Amino acid sequence: MPKYLIERDIPGAGQLTAEELKGISQKSCSILHRLGPEIQWVESYVTGDKIYCVYIAPNPELIRQHAEEGGFPANRIAEIKTVIDPTTSE
């Protein structure tokens, strides 16, 4: 199953409180549960004005549907082709 990186433009994302992030996570998880096991949220990274999320899904359309239903942006969706790290150099 393909893995995707989603870039979400959310001004002030880095200032969201733990409680606000919890609420966003709960909303996302409830939509994921309803959409079924084909789409999975792996993890997210919160920066100043963006949230970068890693998802496993059969296609970008399902990721867009999740974002639309949740009311959060999916400004860019890119399929992750390969993951490298320092051990790749060995």
- Break the chain into its structural domains and give their ranges: 3-89
Q: What is 3-89's CATH superfamily?
A: ORF SCO4226, nickel-binding ferredoxin-like monomer (3.30.70.3090)
CA count, 13 A, side-chain hemisphere, 59: 3
Residue 40: φ, ψ to 5°: -135, 135
Amino acid at residue number 49: D
DSSP letter for 36, please.
-
Tokens of 7: 């870039």
Full-model pTM: 0.92
Alpha-carbon span 89 to 5, nearest angstrom:
23
Query: Which pLDDT tens digits describe the chain residue by residue (90 residues)?
Result: 999 999 999 999 999 999 999 999 999 999 999 999 999 999 999 999 999 999 999 999 999 999 999 999 999 999 999 999 999 999
